[in-house]
Every structure is written in structure tokens, then in C-alpha cells.
Amino acid sequence: MTDENVDLEVRLEEQEAFEPPESFVEQANVSDEGIYEEFEENWPECWERAADMLDWDEEYDNVLVDDDAPFYEWFTGGQLNASENCLDRHVEGGRGDSVAIEWEGELGETRTYTYEELLEEVDEFAATLRGLGVEEDDVVTLYMPMIPELPIAMLACARLGAPHSVVFAGFSADALATRMNSADSEYLVTCDGYYRRGDALDHIEKANEGLEGVDHEVSDVVVVDRLGDELAHSLADNQHDYDELVADHAGESVEPISRDAEDMLFLMYTSGTTGKPKGVKHTTGGYLSYAAWTSHAVLDIEPEDTYWCSADIGWITGHSYIVYGPLALGTTSVMYEGTPDYPEKDRMWELVEKNDVDIFYTAPTAIRAFMKWGTEYPQQHDLSSLRLLGTVGEPINPRAWKWYYKHIGNEECPIVDTWWQTETGGMMITTLPGIGTMKPGSAGPPLPGIDGRIVDVDGNQVESGNAGYLTVNRPWPGMLRTLYQNDDRFIEEYWSEYSDPDSDEWVYFPEDGAKIDDDGYITVLGRVDDVINVSGHRLGTMEIESAIVGVEGVAEAAVVGGDHEVKGEAVYVYAITEDGYDEGDELEERVVEGVLESIGPIAKPEEIIFTPELPKTRSGKIMRRLLEDIASGNELGNTSTLRNPEIVDDIAAQVEND
């Protein structure tokens, strides 16, 4: 490194606050600091700003109805259709020739859909689904990787008023079955396979295996021929080739169904503390307006932009910020099928350069991988089209933030570190890129209109500098409305910790720990429940544990998250064998197999440690904290309160040796 470069590194390392560049501020969608006060003073009417981003078939009567809190209702009386807002209105507004989706497959093939073309595809697939009998309010399950048919199917469902439930393609057959069962979903759209690092992966086999576990009749399965082998797989009687079916509806259009603002747009399953995934219900009016508003205010998206969010549509980030938010704003959304290091580690930057990407939104785990690979990869490309960078999914450490700022943004792009969740529908805590000072590692203040606080166990706000629990003390339009067919669990999971129902005070608890500084900037520290965050993906430790104790030969298991350089957290398994079973490689393999089968490769254990006992308190509770410290290689605290302190050294020694 030259002296000049060393100086730069040192300066960056010490710098704790960054201002957005003037050139960005001048063109920002939101650059008036007064917006915070304006939202405060006009709450909840301020949310009309979000609703105004959409076209409504019927104007709403009330912004917020809170009679039956925490079952809040937003924009009641209003009617709209999400697919019309994402497609028709842009075409009718004369922007039919603008590109809606710029797709690139892993092997390098591309597909470009203008708004007009996308509308045509959505119309035809909506007609196809209707032809199969799909009616308003039927839940349609979509089990597809990052291929254009996924957003097409989502928007086709939205057009018909049929909520979609997208199941991440990396999830296992069991996970698909659980979700279809929970939602009583009778329709599935899937595909034959897809590419990963150049290899064709089978997908239909997994889908079929999942279908075997569905406890009700599945009327129809539509299969996209992604591999181009004319579906060499044999299709069952109720299974249809996507292209063939759609050909029968060529040129047809479907009148978008006017949905009530509070009607369900989609369901998205996510992990919680207990074993069963939760079906998060999002609505048409509140969710869509919130996705559009945050895309406008935080991602600074303009119709002329080319915007790229590198998440998978199988997660909420892809729903809100690849599909609904960007398309509602009429921008060009880039969609990439594959992995970031195929064929080379510069694939992302090649895509940025080729498409002149203006805004790039990714996860800290990806940034840590880019850092590890080195600066030579971004340096091979012209990244000067970029004007804004974003991150989401987990805390970002200042070092990764600064690397991203310097080596991707060339110190010219603001970074928004956006905290939110599947349940919140959209971003909640982040700086506004045209306003706020950025502090690496700290997400920033709550967005205008969002009442985020850091409280102690009693719900009292903590002094700045102290750690506590994050709460949201007022509702917002993008919030989940309930857990599908489980209102009780909805209250129990999110509203029981800090609310005071007697005085009708409802406080949302996201189960994250956080701290706050003198400027009101929030640093999110991570989950405080039994959920771990592996590469920005949320996994329930109980879910993994129940998969493992289902393996023959395992008597008991504890799963915790341990620190991991790239993944953030990784899955550590501590298991006790059943009498008569050996703790050898064979059992280890079967444990891995069990996890893959019940959840998928994202939950694959980093390490499996067999032990004769788990460290337990005198009352018999597993000391998870201690297991986490062992996994992370942290110093171990006091173990004297354990019933079996001697076991700790044994386990720790094993982890070190592995």
C-alpha cells in the first residue's frame, strides 16, 4: 500500500460519523429534516403520505382504526389492487416501455421485461390460475428460486386477490409441506430445477416429496420448465407444464380485483421461539403503501433508476424490496438467479457495471464475504453508476461498513443500514440517506412516524449508552395484522411482554436487544429469543433441535448460535447419544441429514459436538448462554451455579480440538 493509502485507511478507521455527500442530498427524495417533526405532529394522518404513493380504486375513510388493538386496521374503506399498482398504472401512465425487471440467470442468459411485457405475462398467468379454479382468498403456494416466473406468479395472485405464500426454494420438502398444511393451500407453483454454481439442481423431486406430506387434497401444481429440458420429469395428473397452460390463455387479460385495504396480500412464514413456523399476514393497503413509501424515502428510488436488491424473493426482503416496493414506484428492478462467486468472485460488480445500477441493497454477510475475497474484484469494474448503498438482515460491524463505503461506494454513496423484520413489512430504523449523519454500526433513528424505544425489563426507557430491549410503541401501516389463523399466538408472541391491556396500551416487542446513543441512534445487538441469524436468515433453534432429536440414536440436543466470520452466526449442535449408539461420523452424518431434510441447507450445522451431558442449572434448564460462549470461543463465565460444572471443560476442549 502507498503511504497515501495507509493514511486513508487510518482516517477511515478512526472516523465515527459520515455525512451524505452534497450531490446526493441535492437530488434526494427526502432531504428536509422537518419530516420527523411533521410526522410526529400529524400522527397518524402523516401516513397518508404513504397511501398517496398508490392509486386507490376507492378512497379510504380512516387512516387508522385502533378500536380492537392490537388488531389495528389501516386505510379502512379503501380499495385497491397491488398488481394494478405495480403494473397497469405505469403502463397507462405512458411508461409501458420502461424496464420493470432485468433478470440474469446464473449461466449468463438474460430476460428483460418492460412494464407492458410484465403486465402481459401477469395477465396471462392470472387467467391461467383462474382457469384452474383459483378464486379470491385462496392461498397459492409458490416454491420457486429466483426466476422471473416467481414475481409474475406473485403479481398474478395479487391480481386475483389470491394471497400467495412463497416458500424459499432452499427450504426442504418437509418445510414446504408444513407451510402448505398450515395455510390449507390447494395450489402450488414450482419449477423443475435451477442452477447453482453451474450445476442443475433438481427441484421438482423435492416439491413432489413435500406434496406427499400435504394433509389435504392439492388441486393443481404448475411446473415451470427452468432447465429447458421440456420437463423430462414425468408430471402427475394434477401437474401441468407452465408454458403449455399459459399458451391456452395467450393474450387474455384479467380485470384486477379491487381488494379492501385490509385484505390479505400474502402470507410469509418465519421462525420463532417454538418449533412451528409462524404465518405472518400482510395486507394490501398498509403493506403496499409502506413498501412503496420506504422504497421512496429510504432507498431513494426514482422511476428512472436501476435498482438492485440481491436478496432472494423467498424472504421478506425480496417481497418488499425486489417486487412490491420498487415496482409500485415504476423503477427497474434487477433480479439475479445465482451465487455471487460464480463463475468468478466479481459477478456482483460485473452486474452493477453492466446494468448501470444506481442503488444496491445487500446483507452484511455478503459484504463480509466480499471483504474476504479482496478488493481486486470490485476494482475490476466501473462502479461509478452507484449513488446509494444499503444493508439489511443483521448488525453490520463498523469495519465491514467502512469497507463497503470505500471499496463499493468510493466514499461517494451514503449507506442505509436498515433494521426491520418479516413482521414489520418494511424498514423501521435507519437514517434517511439525504438527511442523517451516518454512524457505522448503528442503524440510526427510527423512521419518521415510528416510535422505536430501548427499554429495560420493566418497559422503562434506558439512559443513552445502555443496552436494553427494542420496542415499537405505536402501530405503523406495514405491520403484520396477525399470525395466520392464530390471533392468540399473535398477541402472545408480539404484544404480551410490554403492553398494558388494562389501559389499552399496546407495545410491539420484536425480540431484539439494542442500545441507544445521545443522538437517538439505535444499535441493534441481535435477538434475545431462541432465534439465530445465519447469513441474515432467521432460524429457530427449537426447530433445528426437534429435527435432531428425531434422528435415531440422538437422545437430547441443544442448538445455539456461535460467532462466524462470514455468516454472522453459525449453527452449533450439542448432542447426547442414546444408549447403544456410537458418536461416530455415521451418526454425525445422519444428524446433518435430519437437519437438511426438515429445514434445508441454510440450517446445516457448523459443528456437532457429542457430549455425555448438557450443562444444566440446578433446576434442570440447559445453560444456552454458556454453550453460545463455547461455540464463539468466548471466555467462560462463572459455572458454579451449574448442577454439572465438570462437563463444561469437557465440551470446550472438544470444540477447540475440532
Binding site for ligand WT7 (CB under 6 A): 270, 316-317, 392-395, 417-422, 443, 510, 512, 524, 526-527, 533, 536, 538
Residue 533 phi, psi dihedral angles, 5° rounding: -120, 100
Pick the closer one to ligand WT7 by CB: 203 or 278.
278
CB of 393 to ligand WT7, least distance (A): 4
Query: Residue 364: in which H helix or E strand, if any?
Result: helix 364-373
CB of 632 to ligand WT7, least distance (A): 17
Pick the closer one to ligand WT7 by CB: 398 or 526.
526
Q: How far apart are CA 526 and CA 533, in angstroms?
A: 8
Give residue 39's region: left, alpha or beta (phi > 0; psi -120 to 50). alpha
Q: How far apart are CA 553 and CA 586, in angstroms?
A: 11
Contact 113, 148 (CB under 8 A): yes
Q: How far apart are CA 367 and CA 637, in angstroms?
A: 32
Pick the closer one to ligand WT7 by CB: 254 or 544.
544
Q: How far apart are CA 632 and CA 628, in angstroms?
A: 6
Pick the closer one to ligand WT7 by CB: 164 or 537.
537
Pick the closer one to ligand WT7 by CB: 524 or 626.
524
Give residue 362's region: left, alpha or beta (phi > 0; psi -120 to 50). beta
Q: How far apart are CA 530 and CA 520, in angstroms?
A: 28
Q: How far apart are CA 527 and CA 533, in angstroms?
A: 8
CB of 507 to ligand WT7, least distance (A): 16
CB of 265 to ligand WT7, least distance (A): 17
CB of 376 to ligand WT7, least distance (A): 28
C-alpha cell at 226: 427452468
Q: How far is CA 342 from the centre of its chain?
A: 23
Contact 571, 561 (CB under 8 A): yes
CB of 519 to ligand WT7, least distance (A): 17
* Amino acid sitting at position 531: V
CB of 403 to ligand WT7, least distance (A): 16
CB of 316 to ligand WT7, least distance (A): 5
Handedness of CA 478, 479, 482, 483 (dihedral sign): positive
Helix (DSSP H) and strand (DSSP E) numbers for the chain: 23, 29
CB of 524 to ligand WT7, least distance (A): 4
Pick the closer one to ligand WT7 by CB: 166 or 257.
166
What is the C-alpha end-to-end distance of the chain, expressed in Å? 36
Closest CA to 109 of 192, 223, 195: 195
Pick the closer one to ligand WT7 by CB: 192 or 493.
493
- Counting Cα atoms < 13 Å in the Cβ hemisphere of 515 gives 9
Give residue 269's region: left, alpha or beta (phi > 0; psi -120 to 50). beta
CB of 602 to ligand WT7, least distance (A): 11
- Counting Cα atoms < 13 Å in the Cβ hemisphere of 537 gives 25
Pick the closer one to ligand WT7 by CB: 395 or 459.
395
Q: How far apart are CA 174 and CA 206, in angstroms?
A: 9
**What number of other Cβ atoms are within 10 A of residue 150's Cβ?**
26
CB of 161 to ligand WT7, least distance (A): 25
Pick the closer one to ligand WT7 by CB: 128 or 431.
431
Pick the closer one to ligand WT7 by CB: 392 or 631.
392
CB of 191 to ligand WT7, least distance (A): 24
559: Cβ contacts below 8 Å, ≥ 6 apart: 532, 541, 542, 544, 545, 548, 571, 572, 573, 574, 605
Pick the closer one to ligand WT7 by CB: 84 or 569.
569
Pick the closer one to ligand WT7 by CB: 193 or 536.
536
C-alpha cell at 432: 434517511
